């Protein structure tokens, strides 16, 4: 199975970001079936806002 770079619109800030093939592969290897809905910036922001030890809020 091969992955391709994908453009996703962030659900928080509406920025279009690239979900790269490498990231998709990493995602799958981690067992995440769904795509991230937020750009890396919003993800980082949420991560610092709430420190859930078992957070899966991509």
Q: Footprint of Zn ion on this chain (CB under 5 A)? A: 10, 12-13, 15, 39, 42
CA distance 13 to 41: 9
Least gap, CB of 40 to Zn ion (angstroms): 8
| Rounded CA separation 20/5 (Å) | 4
Give CA–CA dist 29/27, Å, rounded.
Answer: 5
Shortest Å, Cβ 4 to Zn ion: 22
CB of 2 to Zn ion, least distance (A): 27
By C-beta, is 4 or 14 nearer to Zn ion? 14
């Amino acid at each position: 199975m091969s992955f391709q770079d994908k453009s996703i619109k962030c659900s928080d800030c509406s920025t279009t970001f690239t979900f790269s093939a490498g990231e998709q592969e990493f995602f799958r290897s981690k067992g995440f079936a769904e795509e991230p809905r937020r750009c890396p910036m919003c993800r980082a922001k949420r991560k610092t806002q709430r420190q859930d030890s078992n957070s899966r809020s991509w």
